[in-house]
Structure 1
Amino acid sequence: MQFASFQIEGRNTFGAVAGDGVVDLGRRLAPRFRSLLEVLRASAIDEVKANATGVRADYPLSAVTLLPPVVEPEKIICVGVNYANRNAEYRDGSELPKYPSLFIRVPTSFVGHDVPIVRPRASEQFDYEGEIVLVIGREGRHIARENALGHIAGLTLCNEGSVRDWLRHGKFNVTQGKNFDASGSIGPFMVTSDEIDWTKPFSLTTRVNAEVRQDDTTENLIFTFADLITYISTFTTLRPGDMIVSGTPTGAGARFDPPIWLKPGDVVEVEVPGIGLLRNAVSDEA
Structure 2
Amino acid sequence: MKLVRFGTQGNEKPGIIDGTGCIRDVSTILPDWSPEWLNNEKLTTLQQLDLETFPIVSKDERLGMPVTGVRQFVAIGLNYGEHAREAGMELPNEPVVFLKAITSLSGPYDAVVLPPNSLATDWELELGFVISKTAKNVPQAEALEYVAGYCLANDVSEREWQLKRNGQWGKGKSFDTFGPIGPWLVTSDELTDPQNIQFSLKVNDEVMQSANTSDMIFSVAEIIAYVSQFMTLLPGDVVITGTPAGVGGGMKPPRFLKKGDVVTLESDVLGQQKQVVA
- Whether these two folds match at TM > 0.5 is yes
| 1:52–1:156 Cα change, 3 Å | farther
Check whether the contact 2:162–2:172 (CA below 8 A) recurs between aligned residues: yes
Q: Secondary structure at the match of 1:166?
A: helix
User: Match for residue 239 of structure 2?
Assistant: 244
User: Match for residue 56 of structure 2?
Assistant: 58
Would you say 1:128 and 2:126 are equivalent positions? no
Check whether the contact 2:65–2:183 (CA below 8 A) recurs between aligned residues: yes
1:240-278 CA-to-partner distances (Å, cap 9, x unmatched) read 211110000011011111211111221111122211111
Larger relative strand fraction: 1
* Cα offset, 1:91, TM superposition: 3.3
Letter in 1 for 2:75: C
- The 5-angstrom pairing of residues 1-286 of structure 1 reads 1-8=1-8, 11-18=11-18, 19-26=20-27, 28-30=28-30, 33-40=31-38, 43-51=41-49, 53-62=51-60, 64-92=61-89, 94=90, 96-198=91-193, 201-283=196-278
Aligned sequence identity (%): 31
Larger relative helix fraction: 1
Q: Secondary structure at the match of 1:223?
A: coil
| 1:101–1:13 Cα change, 3 Å | same
Q: Secondary structure at the match of 2:263?
A: strand
Check whether the contact 1:71–1:107 (CA below 8 A) recurs between aligned residues: no
Q: What CA distance in whole angstroms lies between the structure 1 residues aligned with 2:159 and 2:34? A: 32
1:31-72 CA-to-partner distances (Å, cap 9, x unmatched) read xx333433115841122332353334431232x221111123
Q: Structure 1: which 5+ residue stretches go unaligned?
A: none
1:82-101 CA-to-partner distances (Å, cap 9, x unmatched) read 00111222335x3x211111
| 1:215–1:233 Cα change, 3 Å | same
Q: Secondary structure at the match of 1:74?
A: coil
Letter in 2 for 1:125: A
Aligned residue pairs total: 277
Letter in 2 for 1:186: I
Q: Secondary structure at the match of 2:242?
A: coil
Q: What CA distance in whole angstroms lies between the structure 2 residues aligned with 1:8 and 1:20? A: 21
Moved more, 44-53 or 101-110: 44-53
Q: Structure 2: which 5+ residue stretches go unaligned?
A: none
Q: What CA distance in whole angstroms lies between the structure 2 residues aligned with 1:110 and 1:222? A: 25
Check whether the contact 1:271–1:278 (CA below 8 A) recurs between aligned residues: yes
Q: What CA distance in whole angstroms lies between the structure 2 residues aligned with 1:9 and 1:73? A: 15
| 1:9–1:164 Cα change, 3 Å | closer
Letter in 2 for 1:47: T
Q: Secondary structure at the match of 2:266?
A: strand
* Cα offset, 1:184, TM superposition: 3.1
Letter in 2 for 1:131: E
Q: What CA distance in whole angstroms lies between the structure 2 residues aligned with 1:9 and 1:248? A: 27
TM-score (norm 2): 0.92
Q: What CA distance in whole angstroms lies between the structure 2 residues aligned with 1:248 and 1:77? A: 14
Q: What CA distance in whole angstroms lies between the structure 2 residues aligned with 1:175 and 1:11? A: 28
Check whether the contact 1:21–1:57 (CA below 8 A) recurs between aligned residues: no
Q: Secondary structure at the match of 2:264?
A: strand
Q: Secondary structure at the match of 2:63?
A: strand
Q: Secondary structure at the match of 2:273?
A: strand
Q: What CA distance in whole angstroms lies between the structure 2 residues aligned with 1:121 and 1:84? A: 32
